Amino acid sequence: MKRILFIWIILLSALALRAGTTWNEGSVVLKTGEVLSGFLQIKPEYDIVLFKTSNNEQIEVFPAHKICSAFVHDTFLNINRKFTSIKQGNDVFSTSRLYEVVLQGEVSVLRRHLIDRYDEQKGSVSYAYFVLDNENLVNLKEFKNKIYPKLLQSERKLSKYVQEQNLGMRDLSSTIKVIRFYNKQRYHNPTVSELNGEGGFPNLVLEMKVSR
């Protein structure tokens, strides 16, 4: 199994080199606690991070299970992006996957690139969105039924805010607003990530395809 994984990683690295994909400055935090700064290519669809310290440096490949988080400045979109590794499964079988952090707080919003839904003609990318509450990862479309009732019990002002803003939580934008408000009320001095503007929400995310 390890041999197959090694060969797969090597093939992905070779493909990245041939494609001439842009390298972005950033850093990766390993499970060992080591922080590496340099140039990164993050491949969340394959759950790996490619790393080198300079343009001519040998490439290192870090699979998701060796990573805590990774940060890059996306020069194309001109935004900072954060990715986190989450272990999923049970004691018998588990795997680690890379998710991009859209909103960070007591309740976070993550997204995952869907490689099988890339629209080559339009050049658009589809994402699946998730809500992370403590260690509970839930598909965003289940937020209203599984997460929202618990938030109402913790924050009394939330219900009034949702009613005043007429937020039905049927789409990504309204759900983000609900979670952002909750995080700010809980912390007062928000610890919400400022990665990409207000609340860490990527400016172009609503223009991309959303798979929910």
Q: What pLDDT does 13 receive? A: 52
Let me know if residue 153 belongs to a domain: yes
In tens, the pLDDT along 138-174 reads 999 999 999 999 999 999 899 999 999 999 898 899 9
The pTM score is: 0.78
In this model, does residue 43 exceed pLDDT 50? yes
Is 48 or 199 the better-scoring residue by pLDDT? 48
Let me know if residue 103 belongs to a domain: yes
Let me know if residue 110 belongs to a domain: yes
d(CA 114, CA 173): 20
CB half-sphere exposure, 204, CA atoms < 13 A? 11
φ, ψ of residue 120 to 5 degrees: the values are -65, -35
In tens, the pLDDT along 176-195 reads 999 999 999 987 644 434 44
Confidence band of 52 (pLDDT split at 50, 70, 90):
very high
Query: Would you say 58 and 17 are in contact if contact means Cβ atoms under 8 Å apart?
Result: no
CA angle 37, 69, 76 (to 5 degrees): 65
Let me know if residue 166 belongs to a domain: yes
Is 202 or 60 the better-scoring residue by pLDDT? 60
Let me know if residue 149 belongs to a domain: yes
**What's the domain range around 149?**
99-197
Let me know if residue 161 belongs to a domain: yes
Sort residue 188 into left (φ over 0), alpha (ψ -120 to 50) or beta: left
Long-range CB pairs of 142-150 (<8 Å, 24+ gap) are: 143/169, 143/175, 143/179, 144/169, 144/175, 147/107, 148/178
If one counts the domains in the chain, the total is 1
Mean pLDDT of the chain: 80
Q: What pLDDT does 68 receive? A: 96
CA 67 from centre of chain: 13
* Listed range (15-19, 49-53, 55-59, 95-99) with the worst mean pLDDT: 15-19
Average pLDDT over residues 44-62: 88
Is 133 or 8 the better-scoring residue by pLDDT? 133
In tens, the pLDDT along 79-92 reads 999 999 999 877 67
Let me know if residue 6 belongs to a domain: no
Let me know if residue 125 belongs to a domain: yes
